[in-house]
Structure 1
């Protein structure tokens, strides 16, 4: 079962205690201790900034501004670098965004780097109401697909992440590595790091794409996952514990 962050009515706005800097084109286009954390959606916050922190020399009215009621769209321009429509400013004229009046946000992926204090952050700000724990376990876990065993271990590491299902990470040495094929897929998580993927090719030649992932250099709080892989539980069959070997076809692992 997935859970939202604390049941905030959106948008929820609260001050950040951190100095926040946004780097683009060799300049810090934002450098402030007055950032706001805003939950536009339940799962994670976005940084917003007071309009007084906007340097007009870097924010140019965008040709993509569709004059939507209550917002203005700007290009972020520094020297010869241009991030089109990267900035959204809220005027407060629309009833559903009136609480955001006088604030603006910058598209995270449009810039070169973001910093909280002197630490770089990735993907989006971390949610102060969320935590990630990686715990060593002695559960017996077995994974199969179409009758083929893909992995079996009694030394998994369980990742508990607020609001998300438990994920089971297994030592690569307990996995049928002969069935793994490198994938070009890459995803990022601000808590865990950069994930790379494997496809699984069964003995009959059937290929199942991106059903295994791993973090080669996980973020420090998840460092125990190095050398471990996770299976996409929703796309394989999983058994948990020797005395409770109940098949769970195409469902989440029965970690309970």
Structure 2
């Protein structure tokens, strides 16, 4: 079976998975399950026996699920663990909120944001096509040196050298986002000559992960929020 899955879709992972919390590994298993709760990305589920019961404090009972606080010494993360108690395929499994733990590892490699989807691929390809970007009729970027990023099931993204972008219109933003394939992104607002601000329409990766190292320091625009032409053809 291949995506899109009828949710929830469950697969054996076949990797050692460890979860670090408050200085110790609270999960260390070779039997983790990858579960697609939605079509976009998977999360890890575990057998209840993979997590010591003293770490769990009952918090809230829901239909088909028991929610626990995660407790270690004097540290408590409320609602961090959910055990599924219904009659579907998830019964008897539990999940730990990814953000509740201090770190996650597959084998000895740290993972971020969520587990990588084994059915997803990310390719970065150098191109010589001409890409031009306008916002409200103002040209803010023009390049013949784009790098196109293709990510399975998502629209193509265009990364371009910052020197081909109107740097005088960029204002650093405090926004950051994280991606398990690319790393941590920083953002710029675009401030047009008339003073109008378009917030967080440009992002870049200062230190992307190795599979996307080709986009280091390059700028990408939210195509959905700007006007883009590729080789003279307006994109929709």
Q: Shorter-normalised TM-score: what interval?
A: over 0.9
Q: Is it true that 1:111 corresponds to 2:108 in the alignment?
A: no
Question: Which residue does 2:11 correspond to in 1?
Answer: 14
Question: Which residue does 1:127 correspond to in 2?
Answer: 117
Map of 1:119-198 to 2, 5 A cutoff? 119-198=109-188
Any gaps of 5 or more consecutive residues in structure 2? none
Structure 1 residue ranges, 4+ long, deviating more than 3 angstroms after superposition:
none
Give the drift of 1:246.
3.3
Distance 2:138 2:96 in 1: 47
Question: Which residue does 1:92 correspond to in 2?
Answer: 86
Deviations 1:54-106 (A, max 9, x none): 201111111xx0x212111111111111111100001134xxxx101111000
Give the drift of 1:176.
0.5
Of residues 205, 209, 226 in structure 2, which corresponds to 1:236? 226
Distance 2:181 2:92 in 1: 30
Give the drift of 1:108.
0.4
Distance 2:51 2:138 in 1: 58
TM-score by length of 1: 0.90
Question: Which residue does 1:101 correspond to in 2?
Answer: 91
Distance 1:160 1:106 in 2: 30
Local SS of the residue matching 1:57: helix
Query: Number of aligned pairs?
Result: 235
Question: Which residue does 2:214 correspond to in 1?
Answer: 224
Distance 1:237 1:69 in 2: 46
TM-score by length of 2: 0.97
Local SS of the residue matching 1:18: coil
Distance 2:93 2:44 in 1: 10
Distance 1:39 1:234 in 2: 27
Distance 2:47 2:19 in 1: 14
Distance 2:234 2:117 in 1: 35
CA contact (8 A) 2:207 2:217 kept: no
Distance 1:68 1:24 in 2: 25
Any gaps of 5 or more consecutive residues in structure 1? 252-256
Distance 1:7 1:240 in 2: 30
Of residues 35, 40, 44 in structure 2, which corresponds to 1:43? 40
Give the drift of 1:192.
0.5
Distance 2:50 2:198 in 1: 49
Distance 2:33 2:54 in 1: 23
Give the drift of 1:7.
2.3
Local SS of the residue matching 1:38: strand
Of residues 188, 197, 201 in structure 2, which corresponds to 1:211? 201
